[in-house]
Amino acid sequence: MSTGVTRCLQRSSLGHLIKACRYSSSTPSADLDSKTYDLVVVGGGIVGCATAREMLERHPQLKIAIVEKENKLAMHQTGHNSGVVHAGIYYTPGSMKAKLCVEGLKLSYDYFGKHNIPYKKVGKLIVAQTQEQVKQIAELHERGIKNNVPELQLIDKNNIYKFEKNCKGEMAIWSPWTGIVDWSQVCHSYASEFEKMGGKIILNYEVTGFEETKESNGQQELVPISVLSKNNSIKTKYVLTCAGLHSDRLAVMTGCDLSPRIVPFRGEYLLLNDDKKHLCTTNIYPVPDPRFPFLGVHFTPRMNGDIWLGPNAVLAFSREGYRWTDVNIRDCIEMAKFPGLYKLCLRFIVPGLKEAVKSIIYPLAVNDLRRFINQITYKDVKRGPAGVRAQAMDNDGKLVDDFVFDGGAGSIGSRVIHCRNAPSPAATSSMAIAKFISDKLEKDFKF
């Protein structure tokens, strides 16, 4: 395998809860040492669980395990995202994001229906507020058509109210296939199916390295790789890492380049007060500003009835830094040594400072929201949850805009595939990504 970076890539079930409880404990070391797996997937988020499920569905004879450092699955990006089922409008035509999002959209809705996972097709409005943005709306609509996004419509200013009665703008795109779901529940459903097919889920297992085992028992087989943790090791023939916020660190362990590095950006949401939730019934998104790397604030209905407003984008001082007070010294030192981050900050120092100020004084963010629904005031919002985006960045300070896979070198690295960049729309794309990775595993490792 090449060592270069390849750019590619409505009912709640009691059974899901029971299953989550059953595998929310670590596995004794004696059990870990008892077998050699065909494949170990590092990372219990939605991409890792979807791919493990897909591989076992294709090859039921394989011995596959998922290892996760937390005591539950879906603890980070999967469990902290906005819950949107994306339609694939924004992404560059021909990119893996565009292809896999549209494919994953349809696969996801089919899966929700088959497994009784609650969801809502609430749709999405992308709303232009200026004449300059009206020009961009037309280009964005054309991009969506090229991406085969289903049933897109251009809406003039006089008809926006028909889709969201309180929303104002100069023009909009209506995407009826955009929806909402609890992606954490979807991830647990993937994991439950994986276990029913004979897969193993091992929690509380933080990977610290990889090494070849000493013994081969005289057999004409691959010498197993030991996937190391603090006090345990698991033997396997091949490895797939889907480690999100820590994906670059695992890649470096097998001889991959430091670039692209993961730089954590915290996205903080506000919550609309209960007495104002009626003001928003669909996703309302801005037209992306090509000058800036992130999308901007939007309105997101949630499955529990909440309305999330945001997110902003501020540099986190920890890869798992969901609050300003979350500081990890190792993470800060790594960021301080990374030239790409300095270049990014210099290019966006003014908007970056504005984001930080609005994060601290959150009522200031309401002005951005009032452009769409002007009935909202600062008294109508309160602080909400936050997530951390595992954003890959190159040495020039450019955000990597597509899914990225990588392979290491040598006897270990050549048997490992790393998912190094899978931000949004990875959840929507998860089943399509799983098919793509599984094809790659079959080709590279001859499964």
pLDDT digits 0-9 by tens, 209-239? 999 987 655 555 678 999 999 989 999 999 9
Is the pLDDT at 43 greater than 50, yes or no? yes
Residue 228's nearest CA partner among 82, 29, 410 is 29
Strand partners, 173: 126, 154
Q: Is 423 helix (H, G, I), strand (E, B) or coil?
A: coil
Give the side-chain half-sphere CA count within 13 A for 255. Answer: 16
Residue 267's nearest CA partner among 440, 77, 438, 427 is 77
At 409-433, the pLDDT tens digits run: 889 999 999 999 999 999 999 999 9
Residue percentage of the chain with pLDDT more than 90: 83
Specify the CATH number of the domain 119-178+264-389. Answer: 3.30.9.10
Q: Give the Å distances, CA to CA, from 174 to 140, 143, 149, 397, 444.
A: 11, 14, 11, 33, 41
At 284-295, the pLDDT tens digits run: 999 988 777 778
State how far the Cα of 141 lies from the Cα of 138, in Å rounded to an integer. Answer: 5
Where would I find the beta strands (DSSP E) of 100-242? 119-120, 124-128, 153-156, 171-175, 179-181, 200-202, 209-212, 225-228, 233-241
Determine contact, residues 426/47, Cβ cutoff 8 Å.
yes
**End-to-end CA distance of the chain, in Å?**
15
Tokens read off for 300: 């997101």
pLDDT band at 437 (very low <50, low <70, confident <90, very high): very high
Determine contact, residues 44/73, Cβ cutoff 8 Å.
yes
User: pTM of whole model > 0.95?
Assistant: no
Determine contact, residues 48/40, Cβ cutoff 8 Å.
no
Tokens read off for 336: 């301080």
Question: Average of pLDDT values for 59-70?
Answer: 98
State how far the Cα of 147 lies from the Cα of 141, in Å rounded to an integer. Answer: 10
Is the pLDDT at 167 greater than 70, yes or no? yes
> What rounded mean pLDDT belongs to the chain?
91
Tokens read off for 405: 């896979």
β-pairing, 233-241 vs 84-85, is unpaired
Tokens read off for 192: 């439950």
Determine contact, residues 382/270, Cβ cutoff 8 Å.
yes
Residue type, position 106, single letter:
K
The residue with greater pLDDT, 62 or 20, is: 62
CATH architecture classification, 6-77+184-260+402-445: 3-Layer(bba) Sandwich (3.50)
The answer to whether 6-77+184-260+402-445 and 119-178+264-389 have equal CATH topology is no
| Structural domain spans, the chain | 6-77+184-260+402-445, 119-178+264-389
State how far the Cα of 9 lies from the Cα of 436, in Å rounded to an integer. Answer: 7
Supply angle C-alpha 198, 199, 204, rounded to 5.
140
Supply angle C-alpha 300, 266, 333, rounded to 5.
170
State how far the Cα of 102 lies from the Cα of 105, in Å rounded to an integer. Answer: 5
At 177-207, the pLDDT tens digits run: 999 999 999 999 999 999 999 999 999 999 9
Determine contact, residues 56/194, Cβ cutoff 8 Å.
yes
What's the pLDDT score for residue 364?
A: 87
Question: Average of pLDDT values for 367-396?
Answer: 95
State how far the Cα of 119 lies from the Cα of 111, in Å rounded to an integer. Answer: 11
Residue type, position 267, single letter:
G
Is the pLDDT at 265 greater than 50, yes or no? yes
